């Protein structure tokens, strides 16, 4: 390609383009607030930028998950607090029923109250949050238990499954946040079985069986102690979730700071660069306009 521009003109145009490019880039940095707007701006930082953006996305997703997990754990803890209260009430009723001063009619009434307690405990075992039965393990679309007080064993078999679900902490570790209703209320270890112990006490009261009442009462007390240990699990889970939420919030600030260090523009420097480039461009145009212009006709005249 043949250029009809002399060397001075070409040099001027090149310098002008450079000034305009600097001004344009500085203007983009000022308007966007970013130093890195495209790969060409700083190719060496692109891998770091992508890694930080990926880490922020992961952290945001974990934070979103924790919102749901917190609701489940808080509800579970509250539900088990109510269950503990119900079992404590059952112990009181049992102690009253064991008294030699209590007659058969009163024991029938006490048995009726224990029926209500069983109903409440089964309802607690079927606690749901966000459409999930939180004590049904991995089968969280199925209620854990049902109750039929006309049966000798009024509480059904466990309808859920084992709980294998774990949630991810922002630091990358995994932790459990749920126990199953079977673990909580229906332990295979007889002294820990809440449902069975209260059922046995209810049956003894219905039968006006003083010996049976005295046998069942300490088992109810033992089951109450075990239930408190299950409540402690949820207190621990609450602490883990709270720690994860705080950790994630701090990590987000750190990642944003690192991202800003890579991507963020130095506004003072960008404004200075834009001003200098604009001044140089204007000076170049003024200088060019003052240069003498000659042509072949000037020499032929």
pLDDT at 1: 46
For the stretch 98-124, pLDDT in tens is 999 999 999 999 999 999 999 999 999
Confidence of residue 158 (pLDDT cuts 50, 70, 90): very high
Where residue 249 sits, what CATH number does that domain have? 1.20.1330.10
Question: Which contiguous run of DSSP H or E holds residue 168?
Answer: strand 167-168
Residue-range definition of the domain harbouring residue 202: 52-258
Task: For residues 175-180, give the mean pLDDT.
Answer: 94
Confidence of residue 2 (pLDDT cuts 50, 70, 90): very low
Q: Of 94, 121, 100, 82, which Cα lies nearest the Cα of 203?
A: 94
pLDDT at 156 over 70: yes
Assigned domain for 177 exists: yes
* Mean pLDDT for the chain overall: 84
Instruction: Name which residue leads in pLDDT, 149 or 20.
Output: 149
Q: Where are the alpha helices (DSSP H) in the chain?
A: 7-32, 46-98, 104-125, 181-185, 194-206, 210-263, 267-290, 296-300
Phi, psi of 236 (to 5 degrees): -65, -40
- How many domains is the chain partitioned into structurally? 1
For the stretch 235-287, pLDDT in tens is 999 999 999 999 999 999 988 888 777 665 444 554 555 566 566 666 655 55
pLDDT at 51: 84
Assigned domain for 6 exists: no
Assigned domain for 63 exists: yes
Cα-Cα-Cα-Cα dihedral of 117, 207, 222, 177, to 10°?
Answer: -30
For the stretch 183-206, pLDDT in tens is 999 999 999 999 999 999 999 999
Q: Of 187, 230, 183, which Cα lies nearest the Cα of 82?
A: 230
Assigned domain for 299 exists: no
Number of C-beta neighbours around residue 53 at 10 A? 13
Tokens encoding 171: 């630091």
pLDDT at 129 over 60: yes
Assigned domain for 102 exists: yes
Assigned domain for 278 exists: no
CA–CA separation, 224 and 263 (whole Å): 58
pLDDT at 266: 47
pLDDT at 28: 56
Tokens encoding 238: 């609450």
pLDDT at 110: 98
Q: Helix, strand, or coil here: 147?
A: strand
Task: For residues 209-218, give the mean pLDDT.
Answer: 97
pLDDT at 233: 96
Assigned domain for 161 exists: yes
Task: For residues 209-219, give the mean pLDDT.
Answer: 97
Assigned domain for 12 exists: no
pLDDT at 63 over 70: yes
pLDDT at 73: 96
Residues 89-120: b if buried by 16+ CB within 10 A, e if exposed? ebbebbebbbeeebeeeebeebbebbbebbeb
């Amino acid at each position: 390609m043949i250029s009809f521009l002399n060397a001075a003109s070409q040099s001027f145009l090149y310098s002008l383009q450079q000034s305009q490019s600097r001004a344009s880039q500085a203007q983009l940095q000022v308007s966007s607030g970013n130093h890195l707007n495209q790969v060409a701006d700083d190719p060496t930082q692109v891998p770091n930028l992508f890694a930080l953006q990926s880490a922020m996305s992961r952290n945001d997703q974990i934070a979103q998950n924790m919102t749901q997990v917190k609701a489940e754990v808080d509800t579970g803890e509250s539900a088990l607090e109510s269950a503990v209260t119900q079992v404590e009430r059952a112990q009181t009723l049992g102690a009253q029923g064991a008294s030699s001063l209590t007659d058969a009619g009163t024991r029938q009434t006490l048995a009726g109250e224990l029926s209500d307690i069983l109903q409440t405990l089964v309802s607690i075992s079927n606690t749901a949050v966000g459409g999930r039965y939180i004590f049904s393990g991995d089968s969280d679309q199925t209620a854990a238990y049902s109750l039929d007080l006309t049966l000798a064993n009024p509480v059904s078999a466990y309808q859920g499954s084992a709980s294998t679900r774990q949630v991810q902490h922002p630091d990358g570790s995994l932790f459990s946040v749920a126990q199953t209703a079977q673990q909580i209320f229906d332990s295979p270890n007889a002294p820990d079985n809440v449902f069975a112990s209260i059922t046995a006490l209810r049956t003894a009261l219905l039968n006006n069986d003083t010996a049976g009442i005295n046998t069942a009462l300490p088992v109810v007390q033992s089951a109450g102690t075990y239930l408190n240990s299950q409540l402690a699990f949820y207190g621990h889970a609450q602490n883990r979730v709270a720690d994860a939420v705080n950790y994630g919030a701090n990590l987000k600030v750190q990642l944003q700071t690192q991202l800003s260090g890579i991507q963020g523009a130095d506004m003072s420097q960008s404004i200075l660069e834009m001003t200098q480039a604009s001044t140089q461009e204007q000076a170049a145009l003024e200088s060019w306009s003052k240069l003498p212009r000659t042509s072949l006709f000037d020499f032929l005249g």
